[in-house]
Amino acid sequence: MGRKSLRSQKSIYQKSREKAGLTRKQASEKIVYLSENQLEKMERNKSAIDPRDVLAMEEAYGDYTLSSCHCAMHCAIGQKYDKAVELYSLAQIIVHAELAYTQLEGDRQRLLQLGAAKSITAEEAEFLKESSQRMKDLGQAGRELELWLKMKPIQSAEE
């Protein structure tokens, strides 16, 4: 079996692999097209990581947070528009979604009025910007719920 890493600054890829209980050799056997050496270079940020490699690691390690973390850290588009999805409890996700939904519900009438307007004021533009953030928050809660469903085993009705 491989030796235990003593590095204090581990990449998200190495942490994810170790959390899955896999050595680099075992990981490379699961991701057949990546060698141990390639994995080590990726984990140590000594070579670029293709998004397809990140998706393969997600599947091999069962850690579906890797792609959103990768995009938030390494992709210019992800850095601008995305927030890394974290694994929260179902209760936290529901509260997050409910808060965003409730705030948007309060904006509903004004949004409908502005949608019919021919032009908007600076104050209305600010309101739209705030509403846009609430919509993003609701979308983020949806992504969190999707991740939770991928990561948590679902019990059958008989259990």
Q: Could you please report the per-residue DSSP string of 50-100?
A: -HHHHHHHHHHHT-TTHHHHHHHHH-HHHHHH--------HHHHHHHHHHH
Render pLDDT for 24-59 as a digit per residue (tens, 0 to 9): 999 999 999 999 999 999 999 899 889 999 999 999
Q: Is 29 helix (H, G, I), strand (E, B) or coil?
A: helix
**pTM score, whole prediction:** 0.61
